[in-house]
Structure 1
Amino acid sequence: MADSTLRDKVTVVGGGERNLGGLVSRTFAEAGAKIVVHFHTAEQDAERTAEAIREAGGQAVTVQGDLTRVADVRRLFDTAIDTYDRVDIAVNTTGMVLRKPILETTEEEYDRMFGVNAKAAYFFIQEAGRRLNDHGRIISLGTSLLAAFTDGYSTYAGGKAPLEHFTRAAAKEFAGRRISVNTVAPGPMDTPFFYPQETPERVEFHKSQAMGDQLTRIEDIVPVIRFLATEGWWFTGQTLFPNGGYTTR
């Protein structure tokens, strides 16, 4: 059985400054992991997360980067290795949400959505596969719209859809080094990214589609990510849907 602890595991967290990524960073650090907190524009959030980790006795470093730029993805992992000499776990929580009808979507919006949700995810997996130690873990954030559908989210769900294919291919290609590769696909999450896309009525609708009439909470997703990074070493090439039974009509 692979090591089932996070003690001293160097963990790169894409989008690790706030919301789900911030909670992953802090939770893994509490368990003894050394954290590389990536951020794109929210520098203050990244510094607050890193400082909270340090004040609690952990280790953390922040790295700015636009993960749609391959050079920035490489620099992120360069920083992890330069700082801690290795990388054991890579968690990518980055993404961009847009709710807009197909007939109103611009080429620029399409390119941006696929850049963040597909291109960045692909090259994050690629660089993680190059840099992780044997027995490493790669975990990406998808969406439950991979298994359901609704109107308005064509570029978001479409941009996230390739993750399943990237994950399966990487799981096979990295298997010889015992590196597992998985995607976690929550339902709509109760974070500031969700609400600007929806009306109050649609928020209530989305709540009604999950057990307990609630949106997905980040506190319910972090344990799934932690499981895949530790005891869940036998899972690979999978998309897990921790969504409270969320469906759409």
Structure 2
Amino acid sequence: MSSPTRVAVVTGGSRGIGRQAALRLATDGIAVAVGYGGNQAQAEAVVATVTGAGGRAIAVRADVADETAVAALFDAAEASFGGVDVVVHAAGVMTLAPVAEFDLDALDRMHRTNVRGTFVVNQQAARRLRRGGAIINFSTSIIGLALPGYAGYAATKGAVEALTLILARELRGRDVTVNAVAPGPTATDLFLDGKDEETVARMAAQPPLERLGTPEDIAEVVAFLAGPGRWVNGQVVRANGGIA
């Protein structure tokens, strides 16, 4: 009797690191529920790429901070594919400004997506994942770099790290791993937005590998944690080319 297909829910799956993670997991034979916040066309393009290569995927719209919508995302994955084994929570937003000048409404919006959203998605994952499952959250290497202007964003990701480490221990006996990936500067739209060429070049030169990361680099770490990396649990993996 063949083993059941492994199934992943990927939030933020329509673009950037989330998109690449969804595509990478599909190459391992994992069925993917692509969660997206607003861009239906991009999410459906990911599904088309997966299915065109012989894989299985669906696109489901869900505001990650809305517990009803996230429950419906997991329901859709279970109804389509039979269960959920992997959760990759890549949805997030970033607003940059010095603390003294930070718009507090923008801070609240960022907390809603990055902190509450992570909690809501992890709550559903903790309730539903099958044995042998994996939860993969996203932090940032900015926490270690402590760059000016990133305080609000890094604070939300500090909360993600705390949640990740504690949830790993709360799931004792479930055979479910919980880890976070903390990318360094990575060539995504989120990172490149608003940066001039000089700034991008300077940040690309910082790691010993002397380049920006790519979504593919990060997706390989996700695939490891989702599959063979069963002995890695309760960790923050800093995938940044050695920058910090």
Question: 1:88, 1:45 → 2: CA distance?
Answer: 24
Q: Could you tell me whether the CA contact under 8 Å between 1:134 and 1:177 is conserved in 2?
A: yes
Match among 176, 186, 190 for residue 189 of structure 1: 186
Match among 149, 164, 167 for residue 167 of structure 1: 164
1:103 has 2:103 as partner: no
Q: Could you tell me whether the CA contact under 8 Å between 2:5 and 2:81 is conserved in 1?
A: no
Deviations 1:91-138 (A, max 9, x none): 111111122122221121010111111110111111101010012100
Alignment of 1:113-132 (within 5 A): 113-132=110-129
> What fraction of aligned residue pairs are identical, expressed as a percent?
33
Alignment of 1:238-249 (within 5 A): 238-247=235-244
Question: 2:194, 2:166 → 1: CA distance?
Answer: 32
Match among 66, 70, 73 for residue 69 of structure 1: 66
Q: CA deviation at 1:55?
A: 1.3
Question: 1:201, 1:158 → 2: CA distance?
Answer: 27
1:141 has 2:138 as partner: yes
Question: 1:31, 1:196 → 2: CA distance?
Answer: 31
Q: Could you tell me whether the CA contact under 8 Å between 1:36 and 1:60 is conserved in 2?
A: yes
Question: 1:198, 1:161 → 2: CA distance?
Answer: 24
Question: 1:11, 1:222 → 2: CA distance?
Answer: 13
TM-score by length of 1: 0.93
In structure 2, what is the equivalent of residue 3 of structure 1? Answer: none
Question: 2:192, 2:130 → 1: CA distance?
Answer: 38
Question: 1:180, 1:197 → 2: CA distance?
Answer: 36
1:36 has 2:62 as partner: no
Match among 177, 180, 185 for residue 177 of structure 2: 180
1:89 has 2:82 as partner: no
Q: Could you tell me whether the CA contact under 8 Å between 1:7 and 1:31 is conserved in 2?
A: no
Q: Could you tell me whether the CA contact under 8 Å between 1:122 and 1:166 is conserved in 2?
A: yes
Secondary structure class of the residue paired with 2:58: strand
Q: Could you tell me whether the CA contact under 8 Å between 1:13 and 1:36 is conserved in 2?
A: yes
Q: Could you tell me whether the CA contact under 8 Å between 1:7 and 1:33 is conserved in 2?
A: no
In structure 2, what is the equivalent of residue 227 of structure 1? Answer: 224
Question: 1:220, 1:211 → 2: CA distance?
Answer: 15
Alpha-carbon RMSD:
1.5
Q: Could you tell me whether the CA contact under 8 Å between 1:7 and 1:32 is conserved in 2?
A: no
TM-score by length of 2: 0.95
Q: CA deviation at 1:50?
A: 0.3
Q: Could you tell me which amino acid in structure 2 is paired with residue 109 of structure 1?
A: A
Q: Could you tell me which amino acid in structure 1 is paired with residue 134 of structure 2?
A: R
Ranges in structure 1 where 5+ consecutive residues have no aligned partner: 1-5
Deviations 1:63-94 (A, max 9, x none): 00111112111111111112122101111111
1:156 has 2:153 as partner: yes
Match among 13, 17, 23 for residue 26 of structure 1: 23
Q: Could you tell me which amino acid in structure 2 is paired with residue 230 of structure 1?
A: G
Question: Which sits farther off after the overlay, 134-143 or 201-210?
Answer: 201-210
Question: 1:165, 1:56 → 2: CA distance?
Answer: 38
Question: 1:62, 1:161 → 2: CA distance?
Answer: 29
Count of aligned pairs between the two proteins? 242
Question: 1:39, 1:240 → 2: CA distance?
Answer: 24
Q: CA deviation at 1:7?
A: 7.8
Question: 1:107, 1:147 → 2: CA distance?
Answer: 24
Q: Could you tell me whether the CA contact under 8 Å between 1:93 and 1:140 is conserved in 2?
A: yes
